[in-house]
Amino acid sequence: MKVTEYLKNTDKTHFSFEILPPLKGQSLTNLLEGITPLMEFNPPFIDVTYHREEYMYKKHANGLLEKISTRKRPGTVGICAAIMNKFKVDAVPHLLCGGFSKEETENALIDLYFIGVENVLALRGDAPKLEPNFVANKDGHQFASELVAQITGMNQGKYLHDETEIGFQTDFCIGVAGYPEKHFEAPSLNFDLKKLKAKIDAGATYIVTQMFFDNQKYFDFVEKVRAAGINVPIIPGLKPITTLSQMVNLPKMFFLDLPDDLMVELEKCKNNADVKEVGIEWAIQQSKELVKYGVPTLHYYTMSKADTTYKVAKEVF
């Protein structure tokens, strides 16, 4: 079932969440066991992230360094199949521009459709960790709107190397990312909204936001998105703060602000246990206010650690 159909078929706020594939060499068992408690809240869908290659340098005996490409978190397609089989819910894999050619994207979409996946989240993705700027792969997509257009084309039976005029038509529901505090590369929020509009015009039918900690920024974002002529559902993304280091790392990595009221409480914390307690309570209050506002779904970034999200959801759903 499509994400947009879930959102239309009820007047209540859904619960959904995102997970990361395990690191290469780790078992899937722990991930699935972590998902199990969250099924209490009846998520209609679960997002599974996709990860591009990363680079590392291997030093040889002669002192020279060799640049090696590795994909540390493979397995997105297999995890989607496992989730759908075990929990009988829809899996929403992420698809990236970065690290993939158009041909690799097309093949991944065919694999996903054949195992019963009906929804995808189309993202540009980030530059590799050791690279300063995002650069598209050879024969890859530079912008998420281009990736959306490719998926839309497959929904219309258009393939890269058509042997027939119209091929087999997929039927993907396409989600995209939105940034209440704007994408860090965008020179202004209005410019960012134009990029978002391009993704919707290319065929995307819902938006999931970057995490935020100030609900007013989400409310303002929704108002501006609607004013820009975008009328698809906008799902808020949430993440409880759980460690002292996240007070610095989250704003730095995701280019977001922490509200003053939250910082006042966090600055009182002496250890990670204190931070986690504050973070959970803040997320509970955030969630309750968003439910009153009438959001279609509360979408939690779990980082594959279910306990914190469970405590929040227990108080909200």
> Cα dihedral angle (247, 51, 14, 298), rounded to 10 degrees?
20
Copy the structure tokens of residue 167. 């091929």
Q: Which of 185, 180, 164, 174 is nearest to 214 (CA)?
A: 180
* Catalytic residue flag (residue 40): no
Q: Exactly one of 18, 106, 118, 181 is catalytic; which is it?
A: 18
Alpha-carbon gap, residue 28 to 69, rounded angstroms? 23
Alpha-carbon gap, residue 240 to 212, rounded angstroms? 10
Backbone angles phi, psi at 31, to 5 degrees: -65, -45
Copy the structure tokens of residue 135. 């650069």
Alpha-carbon gap, residue 296 to 293, rounded angstroms? 10
Annotated catalytic residues are: 18
